[in-house]
Each structure stands twice: as C-alpha cells, then as structure tokens.
Amino acid sequence: MNFGIALLIVGGFLLGGAFSIFKADSDTLGRTGPQVAVAGVLLVAAVLATAAGVLRLV
C-alpha cells in the first residue's frame, strides 16, 4: 500500500470525525465552544493529511 493512499484514508477518517463532532449538538445548548474548536482542529488536520496524500501520489 502506498503511503499517499494511507494519508488519503487518514484524511477521510479525520474529516468524518470533524463532521461527527460538529453534528453532535445538544437540544438545549446547541454547539459548545470546545466542540467547535475540536471540529476545527480535526478539519485542519484532515485537509493537511489529504493534501499531503495527494502531493505524495503526484
């Protein structure tokens, strides 16, 4: 398995995690600040991993 493909898979998992954390909100409180922060960090990590995977494949 190529390392670029592995990075793309990791990026997909991180993107799914960011979406899952951002989607999970309370009925009364909505999204909390730390929840949005963790989702943002995961989103940045997903973009970096995906970009690195694409560049590794090129």
For 4-54, the pLDDT digits (tens) are 999 999 999 999 999 998 887 777 777 888 888 999 999 999 999 999 999
Q: Say which amino acid occupies 17.
A: G
d(CA 1, CA 39): 29
Is the pLDDT reported for residue 56 higher than 80? Answer: yes
Question: Which amino acid is present at 21?
Answer: I
- pLDDT of res. 25: 74
Query: What integer pLDDT is reported at residue 31 of this predicted model?
Result: 82
Task: Report CA 1 to chain centroid distance, whole Å.
Answer: 22
Q: How far is CA 31 from CA 5, 13, 15, 22, 36, in A?
A: 33, 21, 18, 7, 7
Query: What pLDDT is stored for residue 40 in this prediction?
Result: 94
